[in-house]
């Protein structure tokens, strides 16, 4: 019998070993890569490490010599941490029921493939006041944002999950902190990474970035807190879905089969349907077929089903049940 293996590696690039989102917890932080007003606002997840730290320049400027076989470095590493700035661009929103459109704005890291999950303050524009938005990629499921505004403390908490096919392939994710400056500009810096390999259905690994910034003016202190947690959860990628419509006597009224990604936006059960059963057909890494089932009563408003992308990330598709 094959023994399932589960291996998770947690690693940091050189730049990451030298900085973290917690830098902003220092009330007396000096000038450098981060000014005091630069706030941690979330994370940008990439599959590749972003080479932004100028390590050669850091060594040239700060290598003081050797002592007892140890290399001595003396310098502020933040000064050598590069940034990638986001572009604020318009986005058109359409009301599916009325067809009416509205223009909003979003921050985009052009040319950098990744998964956004951050909450910037979008500046006021013609006809619109400034507001706090959440930039969340399709790969973020079960997203949750909590905002607290008080007299002496404000906080934003972001939580989300990326579901990944447990195919046995290696998966690597880098969690790059995203900041917003006092002038409204949004940028990211290179972050730490996690990797996994093996058959590990149901396993979850997570990364949390926290920052606390306290500003004191005229003897009055105000604290801004930000916390972003991304969980990586491994599941079997579905091969097909079967939806059974059941009557009150537990007999099958109707059977419908759907491919991954082929679930409709709406599903209207037949008259007399008391509840639905959805079968999720998949295969484990040894090729053995597995079937799991979920029951949806008449109080259920929707069905959520996964489909897998080419990169192994599983996206949720929601189907509204039209009882």
Written as one string, the DSSP assignment of 99-147 is --EEEEEEEE-TT---EEEE--EEPPBTTB--EE--EE-TT-EEEEEEE
CB 274 within 8 A of CB 293: no
Looking at the structure, tell me whether residues 28 and 62 fall in a common domain: yes
- Do 179 and 264 share a domain, yes or no? no
Task: Note whether 162 and 295 are same-domain residues.
Answer: no
Whole-angstrom CA distances from 172 to 4, 37, 175, 315 are 19, 32, 10, 17
pLDDT > 60? residue 230? yes
Enter the DSSP assignment of 273.
Answer: -
In a domain, 81, yes or no: yes
Mean pLDDT of 112-138: 86
CA distance readout (Å), 290 to 104, 105, 262: 44, 44, 20
* pLDDT value, residue 77: 59
Work out the average pLDDT over 115-140. 86
CA-to-CA dists, residue 196 to 3, 132, 169, 232, angstroms: 16, 34, 8, 10
In total, the chain counts a number of residues equal to 323
Q: Per the domain annotation, does 1 fall within a domain?
A: no
Same-domain check for residues 310 and 179? no
Nearest to 158 by CA among 208, 85, 105, 214: 208
| C-alpha 97: how far from chain center | 29
Q: pLDDT averaged over the chain?
A: 80
pLDDT band at 199 (very low <50, low <70, confident <90, very high): low
Of 84-98, 190-204, 241-255, least confident by mean pLDDT is 190-204
* Higher local confidence (pLDDT), 60 or 179: 179
Residues sharing a CB contact under 8 Å with residue 320, sequence separation 6 or more, in sequence order: 265, 266, 267, 301, 302
Confidence check: pLDDT of 130 > 70: yes
Residue position matching structure tokens 């989300």: 160
Residue 252 lies in a domain: yes
Q: What is the pLDDT of residue 23?
A: 31
Burial 202-215 (b: 16+ CB within 10 A, else e): ebebebebbbbbbe
pLDDT for res 67? 52
User: In this model, does residue 248 exceed pLDDT 90?
Assistant: yes
In a domain, 67, yes or no: yes
8-24 pLDDT, tens per residue? 444 433 333 333 333 33
Q: What angle do CA 229, 235, 236 make, to 5 degrees?
A: 165
Is residue 279 a part of any domain in this protein? Answer: yes
**Domain around 152:** 6-235
């Amino acid at each position: 019998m094959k023994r399932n293996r589960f291996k998770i590696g947690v690693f940091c690039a050189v730049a990451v070993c030298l900085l973290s989102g917690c830098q902003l917890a220092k009330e007396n932080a000096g000038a450098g890569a981060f000014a005091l007003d630069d706030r941690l606002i979330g994370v940008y997840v990439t599959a590749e490490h972003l080479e932004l730290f100028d390590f050669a320049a850091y060594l040239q400027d700060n290598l003081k010599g050797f002592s007892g076989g140890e290399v001595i470095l003396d310098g502020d590493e933040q000064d050598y941490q590069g940034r990638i700035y986001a572009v604020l661009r318009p986005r058109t929103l359409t009301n599916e029921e009325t067809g009416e459109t509205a223009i909003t704005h979003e921050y985009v890291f052009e040319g950098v493939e990744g998964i956004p999950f951050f909450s910037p303050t979008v500046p006021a524009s013609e006809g619109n006041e400034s507001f706090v938005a959440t930039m969340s990629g399709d790969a973020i499921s079960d997203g949750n944002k909590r905002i607290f505004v008080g007299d002496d403390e404000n906080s934003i908490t972001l939580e989300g999950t990326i579901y990944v096919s447990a195919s046995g392939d290696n998966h690597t994710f880098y969690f790059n902190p995203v900041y917003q400056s006092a002038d409204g500009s949004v940028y990211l810096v290179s972050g730490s990474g996690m990797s996994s390999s093996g058959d590990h259905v149901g396993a979850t690994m997570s990364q949390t970035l926290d920052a606390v910034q306290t500003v004191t003016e005229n003897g009055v202190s105000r604290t801004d807190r930000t916390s972003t947690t991304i969980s990586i959860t491994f599941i079997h990628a579905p091969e097909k879905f079967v939806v059974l419509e059941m009557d009150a006597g537990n007999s099958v009224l109707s059977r419908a089969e759907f491919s991954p990604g082929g679930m409709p936006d709406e599903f209207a059960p037949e008259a007399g349907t008391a509840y639905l059963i959805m079968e999720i057909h998949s295969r484990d890494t040894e090729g053995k077929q597995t079937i799991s089932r979920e029951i949806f009563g008449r109080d259920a408003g929707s069905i959520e089903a996964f489909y897998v992308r080419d990169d192994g990330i599983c996206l949720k598709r929601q189907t509204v049940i039209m009882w």
